[in-house]
Chains A and B, each alone.
Chain A
């Protein structure tokens, strides 16, 4: 799992992109529940997370990372590598 500080940073990025209150982001936050999480903002979010953590998601991951939970898991595997 990613550390608490990284989790805060991840929530912060999502909050900035999707105009959310970071405290409302949890395991249930996903593209089908967040109004502004469309395909356009999705790309901006992915690139912002990549910038924030210095990682790069694969093409396959791009289309799968449609929830906070999945992002957190994908990030965890990259940050521990």
Chain B
């Protein structure tokens, strides 16, 4: 669906060296004067300039008013994130038809994202424009009808596509209809639209991969253009177009797996005011009184992010003991050492340190967001590591908290419990690292972990996590094919298909579901194709991939296949697994040089001896491959 790629997320100014020059100069031209005409012209030019290896995302818009300029805005914002966007806009007021009829363009188009942008004024004109002529019962009925229309549209799309669905909620009336009384009424137009919008949230929360575009809030901040609305049913002002396309771009980035995962923080004048090495623990500014309160605010924002599953790291030029002292003894510290998943507190340059932090966490540099107050440090990182998102703190301390909270790069499609636990998982990883250093041999170290691996088949519960791994895994991923949960559940029901996943636990904790293998029928009747083979980077280097490949081979054999065919699709990020198949006894295919075959039964696949327990699904038995 979405092709591989590992480029930076939004924030256009960051993209030097990431987006090709021709594309970057077009984006800069739009940024210089962001008029609708420049967006339109740039979009036409970008179509010719877009690199072929960018992920392509198809966006369908169902609407009942004039939205057209949003196409160009979305394409330009997509290009800023290294995503090639194609937009199809449905007929004026045909949203119902587009989603309900079987031979609709919508399904032929195979959208990755469907946006439902409906104006309440057009959808329920009497309700919106003559509200006070309606009885309470009539008003209620109109609201229910509206909710039902949207429910039908969304359900129809969800049944037939795996697209991410984004529903615009409704703007509130600009002025109250009932004066002061409106403020205390549960049945006013304002209250009714608010509950309608709540119903949309309920609808989204009950379905996979459905989001709300908060048009209510947007229209409150910046009113629609009344002139263009009446003249052409075109309500979007340039400002709304900017905000709306930013939201769409956020959805596109999440869909294309471009979310960032780590917030790397400087210490002096970032986590606290002042220089700990000079001001000492009593002299730094941190606490209830301004400006210390601003630093508390920044730390609280970071803490909230970590509870969402974002990893925190420190990268600062200090003596480690000084920083330890603040963490251990300053009464106003919000962050604890246990909140920090990686740290480089030393006198080495920050670019080197950021590389080390990325490698500690087994993540790419494009997963990092770096926060620092010092413009020179920020510039150095921007220059040397262009894929790191650099956040330079604003001049006023009161803006620090918002500088962190306004980061929109940490979205993942389908937040799972494992996201919330990821922080804990990495902490366990650190404990493992300590153990690794003390074990005399690697083999001994692995044994000391008392690892257990459990291979299972996909089910409704694991589908979301499996889909998320296909979306987010870039390094140990042989084909980098992105799938949604709905696609996977559908695929699993097809003949000759098996979707396996692996869970790993050790004495430090439960790593959760960390690997996926998907077998589909190959080109020849007796051949199974390995559509997907991936492993989360948090368990790299422990032989988990050997267990998964072993189980995959056994499963292939149990399904009656004679051989497995594995393909390596090269991306910017997966060089480490280029020789995975040949390293595991697969032989190169004669017809092409990117796929390898393994004849089942002949090969010598084995599982590492250091696993304490390996559990396979019921019809598989250990030993079947080499037998």
Residues of A within 8 A of B (CB): 12-13, 15-17, 19, 39-40, 42-45, 47-48, 51-52, 59, 62-63
Contact = CB atoms under 8 A, between A and B. Distances in A.
Interface in B1-49: 33-38, 40-41, 44
18 contacts: A12-B37, A13-B37, A16-B38, A16-B41, A40-B66, A40-B232, A43-B66, A43-B231, A43-B232, A44-B36, A44-B68, A44-B69, A48-B38, A51-B33, A51-B34, A59-B230, A59-B231, A63-B231
A44 B34 CA distance: 13
A52 B231 contact: no
Contact of A51 (B66, B228, B232, B238): B238
Contact of A52 (B35, B227, B232): B35
Nearest to B233: A43
Contacts of B38: 16, 48
B41 A40 contact: no
B234 interface: yes
Size bin of chain B's contact surface: 20 to 34
A10 B261 CA distance: 45
A13 B227 contact: no
A8 to B, nearest CB: 14
A39 B238 contact: no
Contacts of B37: 12-13, 16-17, 44-45, 48, 52
B453 to A, nearest CB: 58
Contacts of B66: 40, 43
Given A40-B68, A43-B66, A62 B36 contact: no
A39 B232 CA distance: 8
Interface of B: 33-38, 40-41, 44, 66, 68-69, 225, 227-228, 230-232, 234, 237-238
B33 A62 contact: no
A49 to B, nearest CB: 8
10 A-B pairs with least C-beta separation: A48-B37, A16-B37, A16-B41, A51-B35, A48-B36, A48-B35, A43-B232, A13-B37, A17-B37, A44-B36
Secondary structure call for the A interface: helix
Contacts of B238: 47, 51
A52 B66 CA distance: 22
A47 B38 CA distance: 12
B46 to A, nearest CB: 14
A44 B33 CA distance: 15
A39 B234 CA distance: 11
Contact of A16 (B40, B69, B228): B40
Contacts of B35: 13, 48, 51-52
Contacts of B227: 59, 62
A20 B36 CA distance: 16
A75 B114 CA distance: 40
A52 B36 CA distance: 10
A63 to B, nearest CB: 7
A48 B232 CA distance: 15
B40 A44 contact: yes
Contacts of A44: 36-37, 40, 68-69
A64 B35 CA distance: 22
Contact of B36 (A19, A39, A47): A47
A39 B35 CA distance: 18
Contact of B228 (A12, A15, A47, A48): A47
A44 B228 CA distance: 10
Given A17-B37, A43-B234, 11 more contacts: A16-B40, A42-B232, A43-B228, A43-B231, A43-B232, A44-B40, A45-B37, A48-B38, A51-B34, A62-B231, A63-B231
Most chain A Cβ neighbours within 10 Å, of B35, B41, B228, B230 = B35
A53 B508 CA distance: 64
Contacts of B230: 59
Contacts of A52: 33, 35, 37
B26 to A, nearest CB: 12
A12 B41 CA distance: 10
Contacts of A16: 37-38, 40-41
A48 B213 CA distance: 25
Nearest to B69: A44
Nearest to A42: B232
B241 to A, nearest CB: 9
A9 B616 CA distance: 69
Nearest to A39: B232
B218 to A, nearest CB: 18
A35 to B, nearest CB: 15
A25 B552 CA distance: 66
Nearest to B241: A47
Nearest to B34: A51
A39 B66 CA distance: 11
A50 to B, nearest CB: 9
A13 B385 CA distance: 37
Given A44-B68, A51-B238, A17 B40 contact: yes
Contacts of A43: 66, 228, 231-232, 234
A17 B33 CA distance: 15
B436 to A, nearest CB: 59
A17 B232 CA distance: 17
Contacts of B34: 51
Nearest to B234: A43
Most chain B Cβ neighbours within 10 Å, of A12, A39, A42, A43 = A43
A31 to B, nearest CB: 14
Contacts of B36: 17, 44, 47-48, 51
Contacts of A63: 231
Nearest to B238: A51
A73 B34 CA distance: 24
A45 B225 CA distance: 15
Contacts of A45: 37
Nearest to B68: A40
Contacts of A51: 33-36, 238
